Amino acid sequence: MAGEWRRGGVVVFLITAVALPLLLTEFGDWCPWLAARLVRWAARHLGDPASCRRYEEEWIANLNEVPGKLARLVAAFGYLAYMPRMRRSVRHRAARSLSSALPAPLGLPPVPRAFVGRARELDALRKLLHAAAESTTDRQLIYVVGMAGIGKTALATFCAYQMKEAFPDGQLFLPAWDQAGLGSYLDELLMALGVPASRIPQGKPTRVPCSGHVFPAAASSWS
């Protein structure tokens, strides 16, 4: 009986005096590491690469000034908690800078005033565009075809207005009046998006991937 008690005492002693302090120290050392990981993760999921890089550095610098190990972890959770709001701010800024870089002719034309019917076509377009918005790899061209005057531009414009929220990077409109080819339009679009002419590589094969990089989720309509 007495031996069992003594053994129990030894176990309790080992737990409270050895294991628990060891665990606590370990946890304490682990806190700043986890805090930095959390903050970096939050910053990297904000939106455009430039903002991600900026806030990652800025936040880590701020986090490093928080005294204490546990306090740093608490602060990191604070950044995480406000991440959705931060994301909205960053996205909003990106969308604004894009739209301010665009000259007027490249915005969407005015929404067609009397647009009725075409529910089936609109539905089909919406489905295709949603699929394109969700996919990160596919760049999709959607063609609306039909005889002159049937309302292809009206349909595309109406749909673009309806789906504006799904494409926060912006919407561009290029009327394809002349047959100069896609290449010249790409140059125009890239420059309109703020890419300096000197950075637009000449020759089609390199220019196309470059444009894909600039507007990852932009919907373009050709009518």
Partner 1 sequence: MNSGFRITDATLDVLEVLLHEGGDIYGLKIAKAAGRPTGSVFPILAKLEDCGWVTSEWEAGDPAARGPRRRFYQLSPDGLVQARQLLTERRGGTVRSRPGLSPAPRPRWEGGR
Which residues contact partner 1 by CB under 8 A? 54-55, 57-62, 64-66, 75, 78-83, 85-86, 88-90, 92-93, 96
Choice between 68 and 175, CB closer to partner 1: 68
Choice between 91 and 118, CB closer to partner 1: 91
Choice between 45 and 96, CB closer to partner 1: 96
Instruction: Say what angle helices 69-81 and 83-101 make with each other, to 10 degrees.
Output: 50
Choice between 61 and 114, CB closer to partner 1: 61
Q: CB of residue 160 vs partner 1: minimum separation in angstroms?
A: 23
Q: CB of residue 124 vs partner 1: minimum separation in angstroms?
A: 36
Q: CB of residue 63 vs partner 1: minimum separation in angstroms?
A: 8
- What span, in angstroms and rounded, lies between the C-alpha atoms of 147 and 186? 26
Q: CB of residue 62 vs partner 1: minimum separation in angstroms?
A: 4
Choice between 67 and 205, CB closer to partner 1: 67
Choice between 61 and 119, CB closer to partner 1: 61
* Cα Dmax for the chain: 101
Sign of CA dihedral 23, 26, 28, 32: negative
- What span, in angstroms and rounded, lies between the C-alpha atoms of 126 and 143? 13
Per DSSP, 174 falls in state -
Give the alpha-carbon dihedral of 199, 202, 204, 207, to 10 degrees: 0
Rounded alpha-carbon distances, angstroms, from residue 69 to 32, 65, 184: 6, 11, 57
Q: CB of residue 54 vs partner 1: minimum separation in angstroms?
A: 7
Q: CB of residue 41 vs partner 1: minimum separation in angstroms?
A: 13
- What span, in angstroms and rounded, lies between the C-alpha atoms of 66 and 64? 6
